[in-house]
Amino acid sequence: SSNEHKLNFKKSKEACLNYIQDALLQKQWKRAAEFLTCYVEALEKDYSREHIGPSEMIWRIGTEILWHHSQSSMKEFNCFMEQMKTLGVKRYLKVCLEHVFHLLCNGQIDEAYQNLSLAESWRFGEQTAIQDKEMKLIQAYRGLLDYYSWSKQKNILLEQGEDGFSDLAVEQEMHGYFRKAAVNLKEIIKIPGVWDIFMKCYVDLLEFYGDHNEARQVLNEYAYNSKFPANPNAHVYLYQFLKRQGESKKSLISALKILHDIVPSHELMIDFNTMLQKSKKRKKRRLGLEVIFAALDYAGWKENAKAWSCLARQVKQIVISEKHLDWIKQEWNSRKDWWPAFHFSRYLAKRNWQENKSLSYEKALVAGILLGKDCKYFKYVSHQGCKAQLKRFRMLKRFVNKHSLVCLRISG
């Protein structure tokens, strides 16, 4: 009957867990806490080979309860966390990290720093690969806190510098923080992964001390190393760095070109388009048209007046000069079956006119050129514009009528 007992024990354990989950999801923290105290008995005979064992369960649920329970204090929370750290050796670093997050959320930065330092000095047996990774993460977060202290000191110094007064001790301290932060941050960004926040801090440190080569190298590695996930932010950081450095247009364009390939719908595509439009090279202007067309394919850009004005400007230029009409035609070919319904429906004409007149102006211009003067969108907007006696819209109508032959060549 020991087997039966075991089964019963397992069943009641499961039932208890169900009750706790039920209480958690209904925000009944007190009830959940009461059940959790019963669940602690599950630790006694832990035969389970489940993905998450009872001790981990207690840690996770306990933190959640203590975090929300109205009568819990930070002291109790810390106490619970300390107990949890000793409950499972394999989980020690994870629990530490979680504890630190909670302390940070409560604004106890110094305690958090202490905890991180303590965790860093912790050793248990042979270090496994997972432990190694977690240790790196702990060090990185300590580096982040060092960076935080560093930037605080920096601000103090900057303020003092304005007064024409400098404190050597503060400066020394600041350099100390820099060294500690840089060492740890440098380590984490070597591992393939998404480390945006660490990256930004590290680059900021390097730039402050004028180590631009190192910064460039790190950013390039982060953006172009194929072991890292294709992270659009990496290219954004690189582009921003290059821009700060006053790099040539060419390198800026090549950075943005890759961003365009990864995420055609990125906000920076407007900058990219403006940059390309200004270029003297035909190929680049052509790319600019591609970029802005591609961006406007996305639903998130539908009502972006700036993007529409970019497109309208470039299309207008091409129509006036009557050169490279084939560019527009080629872009339009792959879109003519769905753009009219997506962008230029009568419903949208009405709504755009009501909500944003300048957006409807730009869109009407594009619609008039791409679809001709009989297009619903153009007809509605130009009609409304003329009715409202807006000079801009009258000019728009005249422009499209004048170039209707060109328009025919595009849409035909």
Partner 1 sequence: GCWIPSPAPEDIVYRSSLCRKLRAGECGATLDFAKQVGSEALHPGEDLGGSVGPLHALTLSPPSHTAGPFLSRNSTIRMTALVEDIDRLEARRGCPRQHLASRLRWFSHLCRDWLFEVPLGLLADCLHEELTHQWSSLLFDDSLTGGALAWLPPASGGPPVGRLVHPGGQAMNHLHFQDVVLEELPRARGSPEQFELSGRIRQVAAARVDGQDFVGVRSDYHCGVWRVPGKTGAAPAPLQVIRTDMPASCLTVSPHLPGELSVCTQSGTVYLWSVETGLQQLRHDPQTMFFRDHSPWRWSDFTAHPRVLSCADRTGLQCVDARAPKRCHFDLFKVGEEAGCQQGERVVLPMYLGRAHPSQYLVTTQFSIYVLDERLPLVPILKWGHMMKAPPLFAHLMPGKPGRSHKVLLGASRTQELLLLQYQGRRSRGSQSVCQLAGTPQKLHDIAGCLQHLPTQLPHRQHLLQQRLAAPAAGLAATLQEDGPHNSMLVFQLSEAGDVFCQRLTHKAAQPPAPPSRDEATTAPGSSPLFEAPASSPLGSDAAALRYRRWLRALSRACREPPRHTWRPSLSQRRLFTRRDLEGPAGPSSLHRQMRQRLRQTMREGGRVQRWEPLTTLQRPPLPQTLEPAGGLEPLNARLTAAWAGDWEQWWEERSSFSVAQRQRALRERRRRQKRAQGRRSLSASFTSSLTYQSELSELSDSGPPVPSPGRPLTLSREGTPPAGSPPVRSPPASPAHDEALLSSQSLRCRGIPKERRKTLRDYLSVWAEGP
Six token digits for residue 235 = 């290219």
Q: Which is nearer to partner 1, 20 or 140 (CB)?
A: 20
Interacting span for partner 1 (CB under 8 A) from 200-208, 211-219, 333-341, 392-400: 333-341
Phi, psi of 267 (to 5 degrees): -60, -30
How crowded is residue 49: how many other Cβ atoms within 10 Å of its Cβ?
6
Is residue 58 a contact partner of residue 46, using CB atoms and an 8 Å limit? no
**Between residue 248 and residue 267, which ones bind partner 1 under the rule CB under 8 A?**
262-263, 265-267
How crowded is residue 131: how many other Cβ atoms within 10 Å of its Cβ?
18
Q: How far is the CB of 352 from partner 1 (least distance, A)?
A: 12
Q: How far is the CB of 382 from partner 1 (least distance, A)?
A: 20
User: DSSP 3-state assignment of 302?
Assistant: coil
**Between residue 62 and residue 121, which ones bind partner 1 under the rule CB under 8 A?**
64, 68
Tell me, what DSSP letter sits at residue 279? -
Is residue 393 a contact partner of residue 381, using CB atoms and an 8 Å limit? yes
Q: How far is the CB of 193 from partner 1 (least distance, A)?
A: 9
Site string for partner 1, 281-320 (x = CB under 8 A): ----------------xxxx--------------------
Which one of 109, 342, 390, 409 is in contact with partner 1 (CB under 8 A)?
342
Q: Which is nearer to partner 1, 259 or 400 (CB)?
A: 259
Is residue 303 a contact partner of residue 359, using CB atoms and an 8 Å limit? yes
Interacting span for partner 1 (CB under 8 A) from 15-23, 170-178, 203-211, 316-324: 15-23
Could you say whether residue 240 binds partner 1 (CB under 8 A)?
A: no
Could you say whether residue 208 binds partner 1 (CB under 8 A)?
A: no
Look up tokens 């070597």; give the residue: 190
Q: Within 13 Å of residue 359, how many CA atoms lie on the same side as its CB? A: 18
Which one of 107, 164, 229, 412 is in contact with partner 1 (CB under 8 A)?
229
Interacting span for partner 1 (CB under 8 A) from 16-24, 152-160, 375-383, 403-411: 16-24
321 contact partners, CB below 8 Å, separation of at least 6:
none
Interacting span for partner 1 (CB under 8 A) from 13-21, 83-91, 116-124, 177-185: 13-21
Is residue 346 a contact partner of residue 380, using CB atoms and an 8 Å limit? yes
Calpha distance 269→291 (Å, rounded): 7
Residue 53 burial by CB count (10 A; 0-12/13-18/19+): exposed, middle or buried? Answer: middle
Six token digits for residue 225 = 């190393």
Site string for partner 1, 20-59 (x = CB under 8 A): -xx-xxxx-----------------------x--------
Could you say whether residue 244 binds partner 1 (CB under 8 A)?
A: no
How crowded is residue 251: how many other Cβ atoms within 10 Å of its Cβ?
14
Could you say whether residue 129 binds partner 1 (CB under 8 A)?
A: no
Tell me, what DSSP letter sits at residue 40? G
Could you say whether residue 11 binds partner 1 (CB under 8 A)?
A: yes
User: DSSP 3-state assignment of 114?
Assistant: helix
Q: How far is the CB of 211 from partner 1 (least distance, A)?
A: 26
Q: Which is nearer to partner 1, 173 or 297 (CB)?
A: 297
Residues that bind partner 1 (CB under 8 A): 11, 14, 18, 21-22, 24-27, 51, 64, 68, 194, 229-233, 262-263, 265-267, 297-300, 334, 337-338, 341-342, 345, 347-348
